[in-house]
Protein backbone atom coordinates (compact mmCIF):
# COMPACT_ATOMS: atom_id res chain seq x y z
CA UNK A 1 0.00 0.00 0.00
CA UNK A 2 2.72 2.58 0.81
CA UNK A 3 4.47 1.73 -2.43
CA UNK A 4 1.24 2.28 -4.42
CA UNK A 5 0.55 5.60 -2.71
CA UNK A 6 4.09 6.89 -3.25
CA UNK A 7 3.92 6.06 -6.93
CA UNK A 8 0.66 7.94 -7.40
CA UNK A 9 1.95 10.91 -5.43
CA UNK A 10 4.94 11.05 -7.76
CA UNK A 11 2.66 10.90 -10.81
CA UNK A 12 0.45 13.72 -9.47
CA UNK A 13 3.50 15.89 -8.71
CA UNK A 14 4.89 15.21 -12.18
CA UNK A 15 1.62 16.17 -13.91
CA UNK A 16 1.28 19.30 -11.76
CA UNK A 17 4.83 20.51 -12.43
CA UNK A 18 4.76 19.78 -16.18
CA UNK A 19 1.36 21.41 -16.75
CA UNK A 20 2.27 24.38 -14.56
CA UNK A 21 5.54 25.04 -16.38
CA UNK A 22 3.89 24.64 -19.78
CA UNK A 23 1.03 26.99 -18.88
CA UNK A 24 3.47 29.60 -17.57
CA UNK A 25 5.84 29.47 -20.56
CA UNK A 26 3.17 29.33 -23.25
CA UNK A 27 0.48 31.61 -21.77
CA UNK A 28 1.19 33.46 -18.53
CA UNK A 29 4.70 34.74 -19.30
CA UNK A 30 3.36 37.19 -21.89
CA UNK A 31 1.15 39.02 -19.38
CA UNK A 32 3.71 40.42 -16.89
CA UNK A 33 6.12 41.26 -19.73
CA UNK A 34 3.61 43.19 -21.82
CA UNK A 35 2.08 44.83 -18.73
CA UNK A 36 5.40 46.64 -18.23
CA UNK A 37 4.67 48.52 -21.43
CA UNK A 38 2.83 51.78 -21.07
CA UNK A 39 2.78 55.41 -22.06
CA UNK A 40 3.40 57.98 -19.34
CA UNK A 41 0.39 60.09 -18.55
CA UNK A 42 -3.29 59.43 -18.99
CA UNK A 43 -4.31 59.62 -22.67
CA UNK A 44 -6.78 62.34 -23.56
CA UNK A 45 -10.02 61.49 -25.33
CA UNK A 46 -8.70 62.97 -28.57
CA UNK A 47 -5.59 60.76 -28.70
CA UNK A 48 -5.26 57.65 -30.82
CA UNK A 49 -3.76 54.51 -29.30
CA UNK A 50 -1.71 52.51 -31.79
CA UNK A 51 0.51 49.44 -31.92
CA UNK A 52 3.34 49.23 -34.45
CA UNK A 53 5.17 45.99 -35.22
CA UNK A 54 7.26 44.75 -38.09
CA UNK A 55 8.81 41.78 -39.90
CA UNK A 56 6.59 38.92 -38.74
CA UNK A 57 8.07 36.67 -41.47
CA UNK A 58 5.52 33.84 -41.45
CA UNK A 59 7.40 30.84 -42.80
CA UNK A 60 6.11 29.33 -46.03
CA UNK A 61 6.13 25.92 -47.62
CA UNK A 62 9.77 26.01 -48.75
CA UNK A 63 11.97 27.28 -45.92
CA UNK A 64 12.01 26.38 -42.26
CA UNK A 65 11.37 23.21 -40.30
CA UNK A 66 7.74 22.39 -39.48
CA UNK A 67 8.44 22.66 -35.74
CA UNK A 68 10.16 26.01 -36.23
CA UNK A 69 7.08 27.26 -38.11
CA UNK A 70 4.70 25.91 -35.46
CA UNK A 71 6.71 27.36 -32.59
CA UNK A 72 7.23 30.84 -34.05
CA UNK A 73 3.63 31.24 -35.12
CA UNK A 74 2.37 30.14 -31.71
CA UNK A 75 4.66 32.66 -30.00
CA UNK A 76 3.56 35.54 -32.25
CA UNK A 77 -0.11 34.63 -31.91
CA UNK A 78 0.02 34.51 -28.11
CA UNK A 79 2.04 37.75 -27.92
CA UNK A 80 -0.26 39.61 -30.30
CA UNK A 81 -3.51 38.41 -28.74
CA UNK A 82 -2.22 39.19 -25.22
CA UNK A 83 -1.12 42.69 -26.31
CA UNK A 84 -4.51 43.36 -27.90
CA UNK A 85 -6.31 42.26 -24.73
CA UNK A 86 -4.10 44.25 -22.34
CA UNK A 87 -3.35 47.40 -24.34
CA UNK A 88 -6.56 47.85 -26.37
CA UNK A 89 -5.07 49.67 -29.39
CA UNK A 90 -7.47 51.31 -31.81
CA UNK A 91 -5.19 50.70 -34.78
CA UNK A 92 -2.32 48.28 -35.46
CA UNK A 93 0.32 48.78 -38.14
CA UNK A 94 2.56 45.98 -39.44
CA UNK A 95 5.49 47.47 -41.37
CA UNK A 96 5.99 44.85 -44.04
CA UNK A 97 7.61 41.44 -44.49
CA UNK A 98 4.41 39.85 -43.29
CA UNK A 99 5.38 36.65 -45.06
CA UNK A 100 8.81 35.12 -45.49
CA UNK A 101 8.20 33.57 -48.93
CA UNK A 102 5.61 35.81 -50.57
CA UNK A 103 8.11 36.71 -53.27
CA UNK A 104 8.15 33.17 -54.67
CA UNK A 105 5.20 31.28 -53.17
CA UNK A 106 2.67 29.56 -55.43
CA UNK A 107 -0.97 30.57 -55.30
CA UNK A 108 -1.84 27.57 -53.13
CA UNK A 109 0.99 28.28 -50.68
CA UNK A 110 0.12 31.99 -50.70
CA UNK A 111 -3.49 31.24 -49.73
CA UNK A 112 -2.31 28.98 -46.91
CA UNK A 113 0.04 31.69 -45.62
CA UNK A 114 -2.76 34.28 -45.73
CA UNK A 115 -5.13 31.95 -43.87
CA UNK A 116 -2.58 31.44 -41.09
CA UNK A 117 -1.89 35.17 -40.89
CA UNK A 118 -5.58 36.00 -40.42
CA UNK A 119 -5.84 33.35 -37.71
CA UNK A 120 -2.80 34.59 -35.80
CA UNK A 121 -3.56 38.31 -36.08
CA UNK A 122 -7.32 38.13 -35.65
CA UNK A 123 -8.87 41.15 -33.99
CA UNK A 124 -12.22 42.65 -33.09
CA UNK A 125 -13.99 45.36 -35.05
CA UNK A 126 -12.81 47.86 -32.42
CA UNK A 127 -9.25 47.52 -33.76
CA UNK A 128 -8.19 48.39 -37.30
CA UNK A 129 -5.32 46.38 -38.80
CA UNK A 130 -3.22 48.17 -41.42
CA UNK A 131 -0.54 46.22 -43.29
CA UNK A 132 2.35 47.61 -45.37
CA UNK A 133 4.23 45.78 -48.09
CA UNK A 134 7.82 44.54 -47.68
CA UNK A 135 10.43 42.97 -49.92
CA UNK A 136 9.65 39.45 -48.68
CA UNK A 137 5.97 39.96 -49.57
CA UNK A 138 6.48 40.91 -53.23
CA UNK A 139 10.23 40.52 -53.75
CA UNK A 140 13.09 42.98 -53.96
CA UNK A 141 12.84 45.58 -56.71
CA UNK A 142 14.28 43.22 -59.34
CA UNK A 143 11.80 40.47 -58.29
CA UNK A 144 8.54 42.39 -57.83
CA UNK A 145 5.87 42.53 -60.51
CA UNK A 146 2.27 43.66 -60.86
CA UNK A 147 0.92 40.18 -60.11
CA UNK A 148 2.64 39.94 -56.71
CA UNK A 149 1.81 43.53 -55.76
CA UNK A 150 -1.86 43.25 -56.74
CA UNK A 151 -2.14 39.86 -55.02
CA UNK A 152 -0.91 41.49 -51.81
CA UNK A 153 -3.18 44.52 -52.18
CA UNK A 154 -6.20 42.32 -52.88
CA UNK A 155 -5.68 40.28 -49.69
CA UNK A 156 -5.49 43.40 -47.51
CA UNK A 157 -8.07 45.36 -49.53
CA UNK A 158 -5.95 48.48 -49.94
CA UNK A 159 -3.38 50.07 -52.20
CA UNK A 160 0.22 49.90 -51.00
CA UNK A 161 0.71 53.70 -51.07
CA UNK A 162 -1.99 55.78 -49.42
CA UNK A 163 -2.96 57.97 -46.47
CA UNK A 164 -4.94 56.59 -43.54
CA UNK A 165 -6.55 59.25 -41.36
CA UNK A 166 -7.86 58.44 -37.90
CA UNK A 167 -8.86 60.91 -35.16
CA UNK A 168 -7.27 63.78 -37.03
CA UNK A 169 -3.92 62.02 -37.46
CA UNK A 170 -2.54 61.43 -40.98
CA UNK A 171 -0.59 58.20 -41.51
CA UNK A 172 1.29 58.08 -44.80
CA UNK A 173 1.87 54.49 -45.96
CA UNK A 174 4.73 54.17 -48.46
CA UNK A 175 5.55 51.26 -50.74
CA UNK A 176 9.28 51.67 -50.18
CA UNK A 177 10.15 48.60 -52.29
CA UNK A 178 9.16 50.64 -55.38
CA UNK A 179 11.39 53.64 -54.63
CA UNK A 180 14.31 52.36 -56.67
CA UNK A 181 14.37 55.42 -58.90
CA UNK A 182 14.99 53.57 -62.17
CA UNK A 183 11.67 54.38 -63.81
CA UNK A 184 10.19 50.87 -63.62
CA UNK A 185 6.40 50.80 -64.22
CA UNK A 186 5.54 50.10 -60.57
CA UNK A 187 8.09 52.72 -59.44
CA UNK A 188 6.54 55.33 -61.74
CA UNK A 189 3.05 54.53 -60.49
CA UNK A 190 4.09 54.78 -56.82
CA UNK A 191 5.99 58.03 -57.38
CA UNK A 192 3.00 59.60 -59.17
CA UNK A 193 0.79 58.64 -56.24
CA UNK A 194 3.28 60.05 -53.73
CA UNK A 195 3.47 63.35 -55.63
CA UNK A 196 -0.34 63.57 -55.65
CA UNK A 197 -0.55 62.80 -51.93
CA UNK A 198 2.14 65.37 -51.22
CA UNK A 199 0.21 68.00 -53.15
CA UNK A 200 -3.01 67.13 -51.32
CA UNK A 201 -1.33 67.27 -47.90
CA UNK A 202 0.35 70.59 -48.62
CA UNK A 203 -2.95 72.03 -49.81
CA UNK A 204 -4.59 70.82 -46.61
CA UNK A 205 -1.90 72.51 -44.54
CA UNK A 206 -2.27 75.79 -46.47
CA UNK A 207 -6.07 75.53 -46.70
CA UNK A 208 -6.19 77.45 -49.98
CA UNK A 209 -6.38 74.79 -52.70
CA UNK A 210 -9.30 73.61 -54.77
CA UNK A 211 -9.75 70.29 -56.50
CA UNK A 212 -7.58 68.38 -54.03
CA UNK A 213 -8.56 65.85 -51.39
CA UNK A 214 -8.39 67.55 -48.03
CA UNK A 215 -6.79 65.96 -44.99
CA UNK A 216 -6.49 67.22 -41.41
CA UNK A 217 -3.94 70.09 -41.46
CA UNK A 218 -1.15 68.25 -39.64
CA UNK A 219 2.18 66.82 -40.87
CA UNK A 220 1.93 63.06 -41.44
CA UNK A 221 3.39 60.12 -39.60
CA UNK A 222 5.25 58.24 -42.34
CA UNK A 223 5.34 54.44 -42.24
CA UNK A 224 7.33 52.21 -44.57
CA UNK A 225 9.28 48.97 -44.66
CA UNK A 226 12.74 50.23 -45.64
CA UNK A 227 14.45 52.76 -43.36
CA UNK A 228 15.53 56.08 -44.79
CA UNK A 229 19.17 56.27 -45.78
CA UNK A 230 21.77 55.95 -43.03
CA UNK A 231 25.35 54.74 -43.22
CA UNK A 232 25.05 52.00 -40.59
CA UNK A 233 23.64 51.22 -37.16
CA UNK A 234 26.80 52.51 -35.46
CA UNK A 235 24.85 55.18 -33.59
CA UNK A 236 22.08 52.83 -32.44
CA UNK A 237 21.93 51.87 -28.78
CA UNK A 238 19.63 50.02 -26.41
CA UNK A 239 18.69 46.42 -25.82
CA UNK A 240 16.79 46.25 -29.11
CA UNK A 241 19.74 47.50 -31.20
CA UNK A 242 21.75 45.25 -33.50
CA UNK A 243 24.53 43.18 -31.87
CA UNK A 244 27.73 45.22 -31.34
CA UNK A 245 29.63 43.22 -33.96
CA UNK A 246 27.01 44.16 -36.61
CA UNK A 247 26.45 47.83 -35.88
CA UNK A 248 29.40 49.10 -37.91
CA UNK A 249 28.55 47.10 -41.04
CA UNK A 250 27.84 49.53 -43.88
CA UNK A 251 24.30 49.53 -45.25
CA UNK A 252 23.74 49.08 -48.97
CA UNK A 253 21.49 51.64 -50.62
CA UNK A 254 18.30 50.23 -52.20
CA UNK A 255 18.86 46.95 -50.33
CA UNK A 256 19.29 47.61 -46.60
CA UNK A 257 18.03 51.21 -46.68
CA UNK A 258 16.51 53.59 -49.21
CA UNK A 259 18.85 55.55 -51.43
CA UNK A 260 19.94 59.05 -50.44
CA UNK A 261 17.90 60.51 -53.31
CA UNK A 262 14.68 58.67 -52.43
CA UNK A 263 15.08 59.53 -48.75
CA UNK A 264 15.54 63.26 -49.47
CA UNK A 265 12.56 63.32 -51.83
CA UNK A 266 10.28 61.81 -49.19
CA UNK A 267 11.46 64.29 -46.56
CA UNK A 268 11.04 67.25 -48.93
CA UNK A 269 7.63 66.16 -50.19
CA UNK A 270 6.02 65.33 -46.83
CA UNK A 271 8.09 66.85 -43.99
CA UNK A 272 6.88 64.07 -41.65
CA UNK A 273 6.79 64.64 -37.91
CA UNK A 274 7.77 60.97 -37.37
CA UNK A 275 9.01 58.09 -39.52
CA UNK A 276 8.47 54.46 -38.53
CA UNK A 277 10.28 51.72 -40.47
CA UNK A 278 11.32 48.06 -40.21
CA UNK A 279 13.43 45.72 -42.38
CA UNK A 280 16.66 45.63 -40.32
CA UNK A 281 15.11 43.45 -37.55
CA UNK A 282 16.76 45.74 -34.97
CA UNK A 283 15.80 48.94 -33.21
CA UNK A 284 17.33 52.33 -33.92
CA UNK A 285 16.56 56.02 -33.45
CA UNK A 286 17.80 58.47 -36.07
CA UNK A 287 17.27 62.20 -36.53
CA UNK A 288 17.38 63.20 -40.21
CA UNK A 289 18.38 66.76 -41.07
CA UNK A 290 18.20 67.54 -37.35
CA UNK A 291 14.39 67.65 -37.44
CA UNK A 292 12.84 64.43 -38.78
CA UNK A 293 12.94 61.60 -36.21
CA UNK A 294 12.89 58.00 -37.43
CA UNK A 295 12.32 54.89 -35.32
CA UNK A 296 13.29 51.50 -36.74
CA UNK A 297 11.01 48.86 -35.24
CA UNK A 298 12.62 45.45 -34.50
CA UNK A 299 11.26 42.16 -35.77
CA UNK A 300 8.24 40.68 -33.99
CA UNK A 301 9.48 37.14 -34.69
CA UNK A 302 11.66 35.15 -32.23
CA UNK A 303 13.29 33.52 -35.24
CA UNK A 304 15.00 36.84 -35.98
CA UNK A 305 16.00 37.91 -32.46
CA UNK A 306 15.97 36.72 -28.85
CA UNK A 307 14.00 39.74 -27.62
CA UNK A 308 11.31 40.80 -30.11
CA UNK A 309 9.42 44.01 -29.42
CA UNK A 310 6.85 46.44 -30.76
CA UNK A 311 5.94 50.11 -30.31
CA UNK A 312 2.95 51.33 -28.33
CA UNK A 313 2.10 54.86 -29.44
CA UNK A 314 -0.32 57.59 -28.55
CA UNK A 315 -1.02 60.14 -31.29
CA UNK A 316 -2.94 63.38 -31.35
CA UNK A 317 -3.17 66.06 -34.02
CA UNK A 318 -0.22 67.93 -32.55
CA UNK A 319 1.87 65.49 -30.53
CA UNK A 320 2.77 61.87 -29.94
CA UNK A 321 4.27 59.61 -27.28
CA UNK A 322 6.04 56.29 -27.84
CA UNK A 323 6.91 53.33 -25.65
CA UNK A 324 9.02 50.29 -26.53
CA UNK A 325 7.29 47.06 -25.53
CA UNK A 326 9.50 44.00 -25.20
CA UNK A 327 8.26 40.43 -25.40
CA UNK A 328 9.58 37.53 -23.29
CA UNK A 329 13.12 36.57 -24.21
CA UNK A 330 13.33 33.11 -25.72
CA UNK A 331 16.40 32.38 -23.61
CA UNK A 332 14.25 32.94 -20.51
CA UNK A 333 11.63 30.45 -21.71
CA UNK A 334 14.34 27.87 -22.50
CA UNK A 335 15.92 28.45 -19.07
CA UNK A 336 12.57 27.86 -17.33
CA UNK A 337 12.01 24.63 -19.24
CA UNK A 338 15.55 23.44 -18.49
CA UNK A 339 15.23 24.30 -14.79
CA UNK A 340 11.92 22.48 -14.58
CA UNK A 341 13.45 19.47 -16.33
CA UNK A 342 16.36 19.44 -13.86
CA UNK A 343 13.95 19.64 -10.92
CA UNK A 344 11.90 16.77 -12.28
CA UNK A 345 15.04 14.70 -12.78
CA UNK A 346 16.09 15.41 -9.20
CA UNK A 347 12.65 14.46 -7.87
CA UNK A 348 12.66 11.28 -9.94
CA UNK A 349 16.07 10.25 -8.61
CA UNK A 350 15.06 11.10 -5.05
CA UNK A 351 11.89 9.05 -5.48
CA UNK A 352 13.88 6.10 -6.82
CA UNK A 353 16.36 6.26 -3.93
CA UNK A 354 13.52 6.54 -1.41
CA UNK A 355 11.71 3.58 -2.93
CA UNK A 356 14.94 1.58 -2.98
CA UNK A 357 15.50 2.31 0.72
CA UNK A 358 11.90 1.40 1.52
CA UNK A 359 12.20 -1.90 -0.32
CA UNK A 360 15.43 -2.71 1.53
CA UNK A 361 13.68 -2.00 4.83
CA UNK A 362 10.80 -4.33 3.97
CA UNK A 363 13.27 -6.98 2.84
CA UNK A 364 15.18 -6.77 6.16
CA UNK A 365 11.92 -7.00 8.14
CA UNK A 366 10.74 -10.04 6.18
CA UNK A 367 14.17 -11.66 6.53
CA UNK A 368 14.11 -11.05 10.32
CA UNK A 369 10.65 -12.67 10.64
CA UNK A 370 11.77 -15.65 8.54
CA UNK A 371 14.79 -16.24 10.82
CA UNK A 372 12.69 -16.02 14.00
CA UNK A 373 10.38 -18.71 12.62
Q: What CA–CA distance (Å, rounded) separates 42 from 321?
A: 11
pLDDT of residue 214: 83
The average pLDDT across 219-233 equals 97
**Angle 51-52-58 (CA atoms, 0-180°, nearest 5)?**
115
CB contact burial 14-48 (16+ within 10 A = b; e otherwise): eeeeeeebeeebeeebbeebbeebebeeeeeeebb
Helix (H, G, I), strand (E, B) or coil at 146: helix
Residue 1 has pLDDT above 50, yes or no: no
Give the separation between CA 155 and CA 76, rounded to whole angstroms. 20
* pLDDT at residue 344, as a whole number: 79
Q: How confident is the model at residue 42 (pLDDT cuts 50, 70, 90)?
A: very low
> For 97-149, what is each residue's pLDDT tens digit?
999 999 888 999 999 999 999 999 999 999 999 999 999 999 998 889 999 99
- Which pairs with CB-CB distance under 8 Å and at least 24 residues apart come from 109-115? 109/60, 109/61, 109/62, 110/151, 112/61, 113/58, 113/60, 114/155
pLDDT at 356: 64
Q: What is the mean pLDDT of residues 169-193?
A: 93
CA 21, CA 220: separation in Å to the nearest integer? 46
Distance CA 313, CA 50 (A): 5
* % of the chain beyond a pLDDT of 90: 65
- The pair phi, psi for residue 322, each rounded to 5°, is -125, 150
Give the pLDDT band (50/70/90) at residue 10: low
Give residue limits of the domains in the chain. Answer: 37-328
**DSSP sequence for 5-70:** HHHHHHHHHHHHHHHHHHHIIIIITHHHHHHT---SSPPPTT-EEEEEEB---B--SSSS-HHHHH
pLDDT at position 43, please? 45
Q: 3-state DSSP call for residue 137?
A: helix
Read off the pLDDT band of 318 (50, 70, 90).
Answer: confident
More confident residue, 250 or 43: 250
Angle at 38 (CA atoms; ends 124, 48), nearest 5 degrees: 50
Looking at domain 37-328, its CATH superfamily turns out to be Metallo-dependent phosphatases (3.60.21.10)
Could you tell me which residue, 80 or 12, shows the higher pLDDT?
Answer: 80
Average pLDDT, the chain: 88
Sign of CA dihedral 159, 261, 288, 177: positive
What's the pTM value of the predicted model, to 2 decimals?
A: 0.89
DSSP per residue over 274-330, as a string? Answer: EEEE-SSSS-EEEEETTTEEEEEPPBS-TTT-SS-EEEEEEE-SS-EEEEEEEPPPH
Question: Is 257 strand, coil or helix?
Answer: strand
Predicted pLDDT of residue 357: 62
CA dihedral 291, 276, 148, 166 (to 10 degrees): -100
Amino acid sequence: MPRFSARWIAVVVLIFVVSGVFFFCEYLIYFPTILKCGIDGRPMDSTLRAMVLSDTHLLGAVGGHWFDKLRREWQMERAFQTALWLLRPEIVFILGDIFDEGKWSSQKDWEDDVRRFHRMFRHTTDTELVVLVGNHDIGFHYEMDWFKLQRFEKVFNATSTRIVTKKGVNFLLVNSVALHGDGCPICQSVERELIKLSRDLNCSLQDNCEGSQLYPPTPPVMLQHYPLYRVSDAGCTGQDAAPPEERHLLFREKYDVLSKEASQRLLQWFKPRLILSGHTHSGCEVLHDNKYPEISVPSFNWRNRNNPSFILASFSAGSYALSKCFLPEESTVIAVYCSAGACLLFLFLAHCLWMKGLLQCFSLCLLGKHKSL
